[in-house]
Amino acid sequence: MPGGPSDSAHEAVRAAEAYFEECGIRRLFTDLLVQLGQDRPKDVLGAIRAYLDGLARGWDKEKASGKEAEEEEEHDADASLLEVDPLRLLAEYHFPGKGPHVDLSARTAWAGGFNRSLLESWVPQPSPCCGCASAAGAFNALWRIKRDASDACTIREVAEIMAAQVEQQQLQKQRRLERLLGVAAGALEPFLAALDARLAEQGLSWTGLKAKAVTKQIAMANARELLRSRTRSGPREALDAPEEEAGGAGAELPPVDVFEALREVLCQERQEEEEEEAPEEELENVAATSVGSTKWGKEVSELLVKRKGVLRLRAERPNTSEVGSGGLRTALLQLAQAREEQLKVSCLMARKGSMAQTAAPLTKADGAEAVHAQWAALKAAFGLPGGVLLFHLTNHYALVFAWREWLEDEADPAGSAGSAALRRQILTARRGQRPSAWMDFEEVREILLGWKGYALLHVKRA
C-alpha cells in the first residue's frame, strides 16, 4: 500500500546504503567476504574478529598516510589534542573523532603512563625541522617550561646551535680538500661562490624546495660543468701555494689555479668512472689508475652537503635533514651548556652494534622473552623523573608522550583456546610534533632494526 510501512523500509535501506557508501563500510565488508571466500576458515566468527581487529590496528597508519599526510606542517600548531584529558587519551583506542568508541579501560588488563610536561611543552613544527622542534620540546619538558613562556626554548635557538656545529664540519672538510689539492686555506671560496651563482642562474637554491631544490646529483653535475666551462672560456683563479722546502732550500711553487686543480681531479675521475662501465677487456689498465687514490667526487660531495646543511638550518624555515642522531645529541648538550644547565643523552634502544652503550640492543632473532624485557626497559626509562624519550624514527624525530598496554579479550584465532594477545603501544608523531600516533611496539622494533641510524634516545637532567 503506497505510503505504508514498506515505503519507510525502502527509505531506511536507501539511507543506510548511502551511509555505508559514504564511510566505506560497503567496501570494507565486500573485502571481508572476498577474504573469507578465499580462506574458508573453520572458525568464521573468529576470522571476522581477527579481520576487524587488523583494520582497527591499521586505522592510525591509514590516516597518517592518507589525509593527514597531505596536510602542511603548519597544521602542527593545532592544539586541539591538548584539550583531551590525558587519561582519556590512554583509555580511548582512537583519537577523538578518528574512529569508533573503544574503551580500553574495560579490558581485562590495561595500564599506561603519560608525561604531562611533554604534553604541555612540545614545540609545534612549522617546517621540516623535526630535529630542532623535538630537541626544544625535550628541553622545555625537562625544565618544566611551557611552550608559550618567555624563557621557552625555541626552534630558532636550536637551529643556530646545529648550524654552527655543521658549519664547523664544513670548514674541516673544506680545509682537508684544500690540503689535498695543494692550495692555500680559503682557496675554494671563489669556486663555491661561482657554483652558487651558477645554481641561481638556473632558478635553483640550496634552501629551495621541490623543483628549485639542489640535490646531491644536481650539485655535482653543476660543479663539473662549471669547472669545464671555466677551462674553456672562463677566468682562472690563481692562488699562491705555500712555500715548501726542497733539497734543503726554500722553493716557491708556481701559482695554483683552484678551478684547474679541481677540474683535473674531479672531471678526470668522472671520465674514468664512465670508462669503467665499458667492456672489461678494453680497460685492463684504466681501473688500476684510481686504486688507492683520493675519491675526489666523495670529498667534494661531502663538502657541498655540509654547505647545504648550514644554509638550510639558517633559512627562514629551518630544515634539519642533514642532522643525524649524533648531531642531535651534540646539539642537546650544547643547548644545555648555553643555558648553564647540564643533561645527559644516552641510547636506550637501537639495533645491536649500531650505537655504543645501548641499554636495550635489538636483534631480529629476539624471542618473546627478550621483547618483553625491552618493553619493560622502555617503560622503566619513561617513568624515571627528570627524563624524556626522543625517537629517531623513519625520516623523522619525535618525542614519546605516553605508553599503554592491554590484553585483548578475544581469543587469538592462531593461538590456543582462551589465549589473549598483549598489545603494547607508544604515543608519538609520524609527522610534525603533535602527539598524534599510537604506534605498536612491534613497529617500533621494526623501525629500529631497519637502519643503524635509528634510535630511541634517553635525555636526562644531569
Q: What pLDDT score was predicted for residue 22?
A: 53
Tell whether the model's pLDDT for residue 277 goes beyond 50.
no
Q: How many residues does the chain have?
A: 462
DSSP state of 240: P
The three-class DSSP label of residue 168 is helix
When mean pLDDT is compared across 57-71, 154-168, 219-233, the lowest value belongs to: 57-71
Q: What pLDDT score was predicted for residue 442?
A: 98
Instruction: State how far Cα 64 lies from the chain centre.
Output: 15
Q: What pLDDT score was predicted for residue 40?
A: 75
CB 393 within 8 A of CB 29: no
Mean pLDDT of 272-290: 42
Q: What pLDDT score was predicted for residue 41?
A: 75
Give 244's pLDDT tier (boundaries 50, 70, 90): very low
Mean pLDDT of 5-17: 61
Q: What pLDDT score was predicted for residue 76?
A: 61
Q: What pLDDT score was predicted for residue 4?
A: 55
Distance CA 125, CA 319 (A): 10
Output the pTM of the full model.
0.74
C-alpha cell at 365: 632473532
Distance CA 424, CA 454 (A): 20
